[in-house]
Amino acid sequence: MSKKIKYGIKLQIAVDDYIWVTEDNRKCGMFELRPKLYRTFDEAQAAAKSWKKFARVEPFEEKS
């Protein structure tokens, strides 16, 4: 099983508490949410600009 590194955006909701930005996958269950992922750090950083200091980009390992 190979792992692919992609990048996602986390938003700060409290001090030291972050949540992933998720994409709409037409499912609402808590365990069915998937982070919105980007191929490169730069792509994720550009998308995170709208949240300014409340966002941070982190690597996310996808299992394939």
When pLDDT is cut at 50, 70 and 90, the band that residue 6 belongs to is: very high
The tokens describing 16, both together, are 């030291």
What is the model's pLDDT at position 14? 95
What is the model's pLDDT at position 1? 53
Residue 29 has pLDDT above 90, yes or no: no
Which residue type, as a one-letter code, is found at position 26? R
Q: What is the mean pLDDT of residues 33-43?
A: 93
d(CA 36, CA 7): 8
* Cβ proximity of 8 and 62 under 8 Å: no
Residue count (the chain): 64
Which residue type, as a one-letter code, is found at position 24? D
Question: Residues of the chain with pLDDT > 90: what percent?
Answer: 66
d(CA 52, CA 55): 6
